[in-house]
Structure 1
Amino acid sequence: MYQFAQSLIIEKDIARKVSLLEFLTNSDIVTVKEIADQIGVSPRTISSDIQSLRDSLPEGWQIDSLGNSGIKLSRQAEVPISSLWEDLVEQSISFQLLKFLFRGHKQASSALAAELGTSTESLRRLITFLNKKLSPYQLKILTKNQVTLVGSEADIRIFYHRLLLPFTHANFFFDDYPIHESFYHQFLRALDRDQIGPSVESIWGICWYFINTIRIKANCRIDIDDTHINDPLFQLFSPYLTQLYHQEGIYLDGEEGFFAFYCFIESWNFSEVPPIKTETFVRQHYRELQQSCDVIVGQLATELRVELTQTFFSKNLLLLFLKYTESISLSEKFVLAHLEVLNYGKHNYASYWQLLANHLAASPFYQTLVYPEHFISSAVLLLAEAISQESRARRHIYFTYQGEPAWKSYLANELNAIFGGRISLASVEMEELLRKQLDEEDIIVTNHPIDQALINKVFYISTIPTKSEINSIKEHFAHLYFSGL
């Protein structure tokens, strides 16, 4: 949950305690040895960490010892889970320095070391450590005259958004500035009232709102050249964003206004039906882009023999195109902040990736991209999702079972819940099954003998199925849920 933030903590004991707490929150009762094996340290180290945590847990939390069974983390219902990590993160000198730099402050090394309660040499080691982490973001902490964070302001904000997204709630990291999350919710309600509000990741957008507000107030102004202030979509949402930031005492100028707009459209969810007014607006003002998407979707559907028009892929591809055409430079900066996600798509859907590359290569838009593989890597995730949507109806489990009727009904319901929405489970009698035309990917789950000549795959289960029987069926369909894992 806090993997990226944890990677920036220089103190090994604090980083280890964060891992320990995450493991405890995701478990019921565990032994010290299980935790040690998971984290990769000795049981003695874990025991010492547990004792230390017991003495420093926020009020309302406790680690209970349950004898030979293990330990368990418990809390009072009203105490937020976020309080666990916040207390630990606040102890890290890494975050104290990043918090200092976030506010645009500059200070001589010796004075800053004293303020942070460390030595100048320790501060130097910390900065060397952080600079390795900042390098992929084209950022660096300089110490020549004063300790300062240098790099493009857009890159600085993108880095902090990646870092602070899990901490956006309750103004954590923003406690020096009374920023009002409620204003952002009012902004979203205004869009809904005027029937143009898209589905959004609200925390994603709120984090951008906080970061932009603080950096502007600290006089750290955005520095982007790729702005289109006459763009129709920008003109549609600009008045709402201007009002939003004005409530915090900020007037958005051209560059800041466009950056705030781009941060907003970056929060738009894929695979959602947009409001009719918004969809009509996009089709009216971005007709050529829509037509280009339709052509590409049609070509892919023919080549893959998949009915993509019945999925969200066309809408998703158009939204992806829109994000890139609004600002190619910003879109690629934003993508680079989450490169591990894009690499996942390229590595696990190589055939789709190459197919998209072939169809996009002739597009004039594609030729303008500095990093075209990043666009394809985003598109391939959307294509994989669409193919999964379309093929969902083609994967069936036929459940034919002889047993007590109430138990049979209950078991069918439980199996349906286990296998999830990508597989259709149908409870059928043997006579009905024999009349069905089975697809290659269909399977039968049964507790009585089936003529093997009639089917491709049969999974036999007990009257009360065992875990191994259920797991063998789940493994058969594992590729539908997380390719490559």
Structure 2
Amino acid sequence: MRELQLGFISNKTTVRLLKILNYIEHKNRFTIGELAENVVVSERTIASDIKYLKDHFEDSAEFVSGSKGVIFREIHLSEYKERKKQLFSNECLFEIIQQIFYGKLDRIEELAHRYNYSETSFRRLLVQSTPVLKSYGLLWQTNPLTIGGREGNLRKFFKDFFYEGVETPFTIIPDNKLHDFFIQKFMNEMGRYSVGSGTTPEAFYYTLYIAINRVSLDKTVSIPKELQKKVFNEHDFLVFSSITEVVEELYKVKLPKEELAWIYLVTICKRTIDREDLEKTFFDHFNLWPEIPGITKRFLQKRGIPSACLLYTSRCV
């Protein structure tokens, strides 16, 4: 989710350096020419940026030039990650988003002064990142500065920004007490749920931590009544509801039933890719749209899927 974070970076050089790192971390071997083409700058600029990155990462990474290009390798991963985080150290919007998550809000003029911007320049910086927020159905709101929109959309944004993105000095890291006490006790039971889930413990951990903090700020979600009714009648949900005791013990926060339903749905809607039995159960329990079988058949037919597969799909849906 690095593209999401790039939209909130004010320094164009930092954006370029991160695009370079995104590319070479995946390719490992590259030429100056192909990197310049990918980042859309001159080869001279790329050569200068590579020199800067060599100096910045020092012994934590190496750039070895050869006849077939440059080989990039991370040597000391923890040191490399720390030095990479330093590239974000002066990015004020990252810190502001962190403060918004915790409910610490300030007025535009106060923030502009704190980060050495004129108020006009600071507002221009906010406009730059507006398209990213719009893609989540969100927008900047003033004064004080916050992010407005549906709570569920905002939580999705927070999770993508902090969990899916590159770690920065301002990344929200859920505390260890939740991990140590809760995850080990509860996540072992997830595999026994009839509807199952493809979510990882770490992703579930983030979803829960975000919900706990938002509820503590009196920011709650809502889900459609029809969907609520389905969730409340699920046997798995009754078992899942036991997490309220752990949360209340650790954080002194009582999660409302609708909040639990939202966490449950976010968790189970991340589906498996290798468990046909679980996918059939999920469809049987949560299909609210009778159009799905027809849409599925048309989708497969359009892509030339063999008729035997269409028959198999019909039996599944």
Query: TM-score scaled by structure 1?
Result: 0.53
Q: Which residue of 1 aligns with 2:270?
A: 267
Q: Which residue of 2 aligns with 1:11?
A: 11
Distance across 2 between alignment mates of 1:100 and 1:359: 45
Q: Which residue of 2 aligns with 1:173?
A: 171
Partner of residue 234 from structure 2, selected from 219, 226, 232: 232
Q: Which residue of 1 aligns with 2:209?
A: 210
- Counterpart of 2:61 in 1: which secondary structure? strand
CA gap 1:378/1:234 in 2 versus in 1, 3 angstroms: farther
The AA in structure 2 aligned to 1:150 is G
Shift of 1:99: 1.9
CA gap 1:53/1:187 in 2 versus in 1, 3 angstroms: same
Contact 1:266 1:323 in 2 (8 A): no
Q: Which residue of 2 aligns with 1:111?
A: 110
Q: Which residue of 2 aligns with 1:410?
A: none
1:265-306 C-alpha deviation (Å, 9 max, x unpaired)? 12342431xxxxxxxxxxxxxxxxxxxxxxxxxxxxxxxxxx
Distance across 2 between alignment mates of 1:210 and 1:12: 33
Distance across 2 between alignment mates of 1:139 and 1:117: 26
**Deviation larger for 130-139 or 161-170:** 161-170
Partner of residue 153 from structure 1, selected from 151, 154, 157: 151
Shift of 1:60: 5.0
Contact 1:30 1:70 in 2 (8 A): yes
Distance across 2 between alignment mates of 1:266 and 1:247: 27
Contact 2:136 2:153 in 1 (8 A): yes
Q: Which residue of 2 aligns with 1:281?
A: none
- Counterpart of 2:214 in 1: which secondary structure? helix
- Counterpart of 2:274 in 1: which secondary structure? coil
The AA in structure 2 aligned to 1:142 is Q
| Higher gyration radius (CA) | 1
- Counterpart of 2:147 in 1: which secondary structure? strand
Are residues 1:319 and 2:297 paired? no
CA gap 1:52/1:119 in 2 versus in 1, 3 angstroms: farther
The AA in structure 1 aligned to 2:55 is D
CA gap 1:151/1:81 in 2 versus in 1, 3 angstroms: same
Query: TM-score scaled by structure 2?
Result: 0.77
Contact 2:14 2:87 in 1 (8 A): yes
Contact 2:36 2:42 in 1 (8 A): yes
Contact 1:221 1:256 in 2 (8 A): yes
CA gap 1:128/1:259 in 2 versus in 1, 3 angstroms: same
Partner of residue 248 from structure 1, selected from 236, 247, 250: 250
Aligned residues: 303
Distance across 1 between alignment mates of 2:14 and 2:177: 29
- Counterpart of 2:255 in 1: which secondary structure? coil
CA RMSD of aligned residues (A): 3.9
CA gap 1:136/1:3 in 2 versus in 1, 3 angstroms: closer
Contact 1:107 1:146 in 2 (8 A): yes
Q: Which runs of 5+ in 1 are unaligned?
A: 273-311, 329-355, 361-375, 392-485
Matches within 5 A, 1:79-158: 79=78, 82-83=81-82, 85-143=84-142, 145-158=143-156
Contact 2:85 2:168 in 1 (8 A): no
Contact 1:29 1:70 in 2 (8 A): yes
Distance across 2 between alignment mates of 1:75 and 1:15: 20
Distance across 2 between alignment mates of 1:131 and 1:112: 17
Matches within 5 A, 1:53-452: 53-57=53-57, 61-66=60-65, 69-76=68-75, 78-79=77-78, 82-83=81-82, 85-143=84-142, 145-167=143-165, 173-175=171-173, 180-182=178-180, 183-192=182-191, 198-202=196-200, 203-226=202-225, 227-228=228-229, 230-233=232-235, 235-249=237-251, 250-272=253-275, 312=276, 316=279, 318-320=281-283, 322-323=285-286, 325=288, 360=294, 376=295, 380=299
Of the two structures, which has the highest relative contact order with CA contacts closer than 8 Å and spacing of 6 or more? 2
- Counterpart of 1:180 in 2: which secondary structure? helix
Aligned residues with identical type, % of pairs: 19
Shift of 1:321: 5.7
Q: Which runs of 5+ in 2 are unaligned?
A: 311-317
1:195-238 C-alpha deviation (Å, 9 max, x unpaired)? 76835321332221232123223332224453336322464333
CA gap 1:251/1:60 in 2 versus in 1, 3 angstroms: farther
